[in-house]
Structure 1
Amino acid sequence: MVYYLGIDAGGSHCRSRLIDASGTVIGSGKTGPANARVGLEILHATLLDAIGQAIAEAGLDPASVATIRAGMGIAGISRPGVRERLESLAFPFASVAYETDAAIANIGAHGGRDGATLVIGTGSIAQVRVNGRDFAIGGYGFPISDEGSGAALGLSAMRHALRALDGRTTRTPLSTAVSERFGHDTARAIAWMDEATPKDYAQLAPIVMDHAEADDSIARSIVEDAALHVERFIETVFAKGAPACALAGGLSLRMRPWLRARTVARLSEPMGDPLDGALLLAGFVRE
């Protein structure tokens, strides 16, 4: 018996899915952020935690674990030297294949065939496969990139809240909701900023979306600007020759209504999720 393990490790969480040779899910796990930027030791520990949960749920013994073929999609591994360092990590499996989290999302969305996937979550990136060639658009990291993402929405909300506290702009329900988190105290907000991660900024995104949907003028402008970036991503992937484009990521469903109808009409529904893509990367082929 051979088993397959898929890992989706991103800026907000790390998920695992373990299946048998027939494709039946026998175990799963979920832990915290697993972006390569957290450091190799922390990343390794987070991966092992998610993997351990899936193996424990499946009840596999060490001999069975040794047959596992794993596919891991990890955010941030395109940075120089990261993939090589990952390949030095110890896992008790028959094989391990690595890709970015965006790559496994695209593999899952199109079943390994040509197409593009725009991932809108903590960050943003478009992953494209055209004539079997894979490449990415954007996704260079927060704050210089990740346009239209949860982290970008959160950063804009923080800027609005601080300007409102200063009196440089009109207070709105959004600015009040954000500044309440810091007791309406600029010094506390700055102290938070000194330690804040992209995930921390992205946790403000639902507040922005809620207030935009409630017609807060500043929240609407923030989301409308994000939608323009999303539409530009989509236009670019089609211009690069992608035959189809799907949306993925935790923010994609809430962002979709803010896109123009003609843009939405060009989108395709994903065939599978990133963990399906990770399992295909591992070598699983459904009979």
Structure 2
Amino acid sequence: MGDALYLGVDGGGTGCRARLEDAAGAVLGQGISGPAATRFGVEASWRAIQTAAGHALKEAGLDERHWGRVHAGVGVAGIGRPGARAGLEAMPHPYGSLAFTSDAMIACLGAHGGHDGGIVIVGTGSCAIGRVAGREVRFGGYGFPISDEGSGAYLGLRALRHALRAHDGRETGSALTRELMARFHDDPMAVVGWMDAATATDYATFAPLVVRQADQGDAVARHVVQNAAEHVNDLVRALLSAGAPRVSLIGGLATVLSAWLAPDVRRRLSPTLGDAVAGALALAGRPVG
């Protein structure tokens, strides 16, 4: 039926991407679909994965007779939820082989060309994940507000705390604290009412404001961003101490926070070599250099 082909799928919380390649890395087809995170249910996750995969296979001109040639690797957001991995692995599939892991792990594999290494993800949330001698290591990422230090949500939370203390007169205010309170009409009870329903994503909406004020020299904003960077320093050092040969910083705040990191940490960071789908292809067994 032909040579082996490799399918990589990045099943994220906002969308799902699939790419089909041959053993040499030539792209044969690509596909996208809606969210594949398991919080939407295992069945919905699998449908999104199969929809994106189907589009990639169709673009490559493969009908179902050839799907047995395909070895698939899939990273799924929320695969650690109770029963999620078992549910996905129980799904009947047409592939020659199928392997699952987390979306973070395929991002890690992609960042290091399918080899050992670690990543620190700093976006709305944060975590550090790596593979060392074939063993997975992980630090943080337990969810906001108990974890996710250094993230966008963390920046927003810390900034709001300073704004409320400055409103009370318990600390010196700044342009940042005044702008934050102005968004709530200078009413701390409006902040309380907002807090009751606020998610990590809501807190993270304040991160661009904090970063902008920090860049403009605002003392409170600089303190908040530097504190966040110190947590990222700790995550990078934890991966290095665990034996990760390469560590990369990824996520929406990676570029911003990299300038605030300690010199020794910046020196040890490595550029990413590929995307999360490339990591899923490595998981599928596509040969790596």
TM-score under structure 1 length normalisation: 0.81
Equivalent residue for 1:141?
A: 143
Equivalent residue for 1:159?
A: 161
Greater Cα offset, 67-76 or 137-146: 67-76
Q: Unaligned stretches of 5+ in structure 1?
A: none
Kept in 2, the 8 Å contact 1:6–1:17? The answer is yes
Q: Unaligned stretches of 5+ in structure 2?
A: none
With over 3 angstroms needed to count, the CA separation of the structure-2 counterparts of 1:69 and 1:246, relative to structure 1, is same
Pairing of 1:1-287 with structure 2 (within 5 A): 2-10=4-12, 14-28=16-30, 34-40=36-42, 43-44=45-46, 46-47=48-49, 50-51=52-53, 54=56, 61-63=63-65, 67-89=69-91, 93-163=95-165, 171-179=173-181, 189-190=191-192, 192-285=194-287
Pairwise CA distance, 1:259: 0.6
Kept in 1, the 8 Å contact 2:282–2:288? The answer is no
Kept in 2, the 8 Å contact 1:35–1:76? The answer is yes
Query: For this pair of structures, how many residues does the alignment match?
Result: 287
Percent sequence identity is 48
Kept in 2, the 8 Å contact 1:106–1:127? The answer is yes
With over 3 angstroms needed to count, the CA separation of the structure-2 counterparts of 1:16 and 1:159, relative to structure 1, is farther
Please give the alpha-carbon distance, in whole angstroms, between the structure 2 residues aligned to 1:33 and 1:195. 23
TM-score under structure 2 length normalisation: 0.80
Between structure 1 and structure 2, the one with the greater Rg is 2
Pairwise CA distance, 1:128: 2.2
Greater Cα offset, 236-245 or 198-207: 198-207
With over 3 angstroms needed to count, the CA separation of the structure-2 counterparts of 1:160 and 1:28, relative to structure 1, is farther
Please give the alpha-carbon distance, in whole angstroms, between the structure 1 residues aligned to 2:29 and 2:169. 53
Please give the alpha-carbon distance, in whole angstroms, between the structure 1 residues aligned to 2:119 and 2:16. 19
Please give the alpha-carbon distance, in whole angstroms, between the structure 2 residues aligned to 1:161 and 1:50. 44
Kept in 1, the 8 Å contact 2:113–2:288? The answer is no
CA RMSD of aligned residues (A): 3.3
Pairwise CA distance, 1:114: 2.5
